[in-house]
């Protein structure tokens, strides 16, 4: 397991512990209730998955979002590098904001936003946010008002493979971000569901 995967797994475990033990009364998912694979939305709806990843040694991160319809086809995506930001919560919140902005840019009015980051999803669903991401969550709330029907759902890590792989590719392949043809080929043929 690479060090980034270990850190990501540790952050995910901490999030689960934090919201289970430190926030009594907060609704919390049960791992057995989470799906183990990505499922398409109902006809007429779209799902957007987002993710963030980082390379500590280079002091940079990447955020990614991909949206798909009921046929599982990727209809749009966004990927960006974020320099000098190593806070995983901030990167995840920025990725969520990017996902909502992608919905607006594409004119999507019925969207389900999915992520395996419990802190970001619960921060959006309630007013119980970490101080470090409060401003970004407020931006997400304002942007969400531009979309007719939007929901934010916590999913298992295995349901977020597409956004994760897009983020990893963006972080580790410098030419990828600036080469639309590479992105199209990756998203349509190499990216996992």
Tell me the per-residue pLDDT of 144-181, one tens digit each, with 9 for 90 and over: 999 999 999 989 888 899 999 999 999 999 899 999 99
The domain total for the chain is 1
The CATH number that applies at residue 93 is 3.30.420.10
Q: What is the pTM of this model?
A: 0.80
Its domain, for residue 14, covers: 3-190
CA distance 160 to 48: 10
Predicted confidence band at 19 (pLDDT cuts at 50, 70, 90)?
A: very low
Give the number of other CB atoms < 10 A from CB of residue 5.
12
pLDDT digits (tens, 9 = 90+) for 60-93: 999 999 999 999 989 999 999 999 988 999 999 9
- Tokens of residue 134, six digits: 């409060």
């Amino acid at each position: 397991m690479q060090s980034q995967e270990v850190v990501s797994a540790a952050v995910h475990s901490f999030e689960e512990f934090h919201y289970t033990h430190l926030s009594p009364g907060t609704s919390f998912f049960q791992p057995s209730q989470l799906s183990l694979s990505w499922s398409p939305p109902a006809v007429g709806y779209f799902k957007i998955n987002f993710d963030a990843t980082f390379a500590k040694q280079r002091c940079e991160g990447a955020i990614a979002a991909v949206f798909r319809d009921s046929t599982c086809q990727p209809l749009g995506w966004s990927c960006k590098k974020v320099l000098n930001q190593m806070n995983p919560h901030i990167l995840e919140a920025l990725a969520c904001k990017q996902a909502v902005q992608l919905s607006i840019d594409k004119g999507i009015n019925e969207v389900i936003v999915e992520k395996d980051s419990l802190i970001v999803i619960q921060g959006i669903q309630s007013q119980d946010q970490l101080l470090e991401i409060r401003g970004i969550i407020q931006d997400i709330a304002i942007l969400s008002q531009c979309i007719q029907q939007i929901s934010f759902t916590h999913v298992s890590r295995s349901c977020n493979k597409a956004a994760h792989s897009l983020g990893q590719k963006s972080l580790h392949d410098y030419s990828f971000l600036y080469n639309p043809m590479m992105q199209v080929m990756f998203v349509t043929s190499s990216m996992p569901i």
